[in-house]
Structure 1
Amino acid sequence: MVTKFKNYLAKTNLAKNTITSYVWTVQYFLNHYEDVNKKNLLAYKGYLVENFKPQTVNLRLQGINKYLEFARQEKLKVKFVKVQQKNFLENVISDADYKFLKTCLKTDGYDEWYFIIWFMAATGARVSELLHIKAEHVHVGHLDLYSKGGKIRRLYIPKNLRIEATKWLKEKGFISGYIFLNRFGERITTRGIAQQLKHFAEKYGMNKEVVYPHSFRHRFAKNFLDRFNDLALLADLMGHESIETTRIYLRRTASEQQKIVDKVVNW
């Protein structure tokens, strides 16, 4: 049944990682609960709520609900838990720290990593999208990405990054193909990027909590709104389905809120 479910998902536009997550969730449920019934589904939901964050709970429940659709048991679908949105952004690298890290990597000759974080922070690319960038895209200044719903989103590479990256690729003799490769000449993995960023955070005495791939996408959004206050355009650039998702970037980070309170509140 699980194999059939996997084949069913493969025919959809879901990302590979999402399919893996859904299949794992369903396999776990079927291994731990004898029957697919309301009582067992609610017991599983209770287990998730006690042990995981709301976002993770909902991801698991999404997988279960997809399976119930597949098994034509929609009536058993489980309701998601409410995610309380915070009124501040957490764990976003500051502009100063981003520039500091870039400078350190450049100075110490880690050119590839210098460009990895620059591309993420200057394009707003998700780390999985970063891996699709080819030398050809750098030359034309953009690449087109296809979202889950079949929509096209254009990822723009700004002029100053384009110029410097072109020089770097020329020095390496890269005329075409993917630009971010590991030592075996294969495309670097998202996990490899995350691990290496933690290593650099430690090396340069930075807060490891803010040095992770998605943090640079957050930095792109914050910097963009600071310089060009157009939320609708930012939503398009980031590939958000709803402008409500983008609205979080109008909020301050926790450290920014602290600085303002420290400065303003003197009574």
Structure 2
Amino acid sequence: MKTKLKTDGHTEWYFVVWFLTATGARISELLQIKAEHVETGYLDMYTKGGKVRRLYISKKLRDEATKWLKEKSFSSGYIFRNRFGERITARGISQQLKHFAGKYGLNTKVIYPHSFRHRFAKNFLDKFNDIALLADLMGHESIETTRIYLRKTASEQQMIVDKIVTW
């Protein structure tokens, strides 16, 4: 979806998807990101339990987003805005993601903002298998909450069994 959005010139939505998948942000957290956070590479926010959680923005995303923000002449303020220049809403993002999913022939039932948070977690564990760090990055109070991302789909289970059961 991300690549198709860029190819079709939907740059802002390309960045919405990229920020969701590269940061593990909840939709409410995504809406808090400002140009200043892109510049510093992180956003500190308070979680439900009153703790501070740091949302990191990777160098690659930071570099690309900085170029995009310069093109839009955004040097400060919220980076995701609606056509009126106001901060976009969670509902607006959800509706647009469903729209693009339908347009690109994807299952609209599985495309919603939180699904990109799941993708971040799965990708993180595939590349760096540290569930304690992932729990911290995602703002989970307990590793038990993060364990859901360790579960494999039926097709992943089949592939693993096919690979290791050779007797």
**If the length of structure 1 is used for normalisation, what is the TM-score?**
0.59
User: Aligned to 1:153, what secondary structure does the other structure show?
Assistant: strand
The aligned amino acid for 1:206 is L
The alignment covers a number of residue pairs equal to 166
- Counterpart-to-counterpart distance in 1, 2:163 and 2:51: 45
Partner residue, 2:137 = 237
- Give the gaps of 5 or more residues in structure 2: none
- Counterpart-to-counterpart distance in 2, 1:144 and 1:254: 37
- Counterpart-to-counterpart distance in 1, 2:163 and 2:130: 28
Partner residue, 2:106 = 206
User: Aligned to 2:55, what secondary structure does the other structure show?
Assistant: strand
Partner residue, 1:189 = 89
User: Aligned to 1:232, what secondary structure does the other structure show?
Assistant: helix
Instruction: Give how far 1:207 is off.
Output: 1.3
Q: Does 1:179 align with 2:82?
A: no
Q: Does 1:215 align with 2:112?
A: no
Write the deviation string for residues 133-168 of structure 1: whole angstroms up to 9, x where unpaired.
Answer: 000000000000101221000000000000000000
Write the deviation string for residues 81-129 of structure 1: whole angstroms up to 9, x where unpaired.
Answer: xxxxxxxxxxxxxxxxxxxx11100000000000001001000000110
- Counterpart-to-counterpart distance in 2, 1:160 and 1:245: 28
The aligned amino acid for 1:246 is T
Q: Matches of residues 60-139 of structure 1 in structure 2 within 5 Å?
A: 101-139=1-39
Partner residue, 1:3 = none
- Give the gaps of 5 or more residues in structure 1: 1-100
Q: Percent identity?
A: 79
Match of 1:168 among 63, 68, 75: 68
Following TM superposition, where does structure 1 have runs of at least 4 consecutive aligned residues deviating by more than 4 angstroms? 258-266
- Counterpart-to-counterpart distance in 2, 1:223 and 1:104: 20
Partner residue, 2:45 = 145
Structure 1 residues 186 and 226, CA, compared in 2 at 3 Å: closer, same or farther?
Answer: same
User: Aligned to 2:44, what secondary structure does the other structure show?
Assistant: strand
- Counterpart-to-counterpart distance in 2, 1:255 and 1:205: 21
- Counterpart-to-counterpart distance in 2, 1:260 and 1:222: 16
> Larger deviation: 244-253 or 172-181?
244-253
The higher relative CO (CA closer than 8 Å, separation ≥ 6) is in 2
**If the length of structure 2 is used for normalisation, what is the TM-score?**
0.94
Partner residue, 1:31 = none
Instruction: Give how far 1:251 is off.
Output: 1.1
User: Aligned to 1:167, what secondary structure does the other structure show?
Assistant: helix
User: What root-mean-square deviation, in Å, do the aligned CA atoms of Structure 1 and Structure 2 show?
Assistant: 1.7
The aligned amino acid for 1:161 is L
Highest CA radius of gyration, 1 or 2? Answer: 1
Partner residue, 1:44 = none
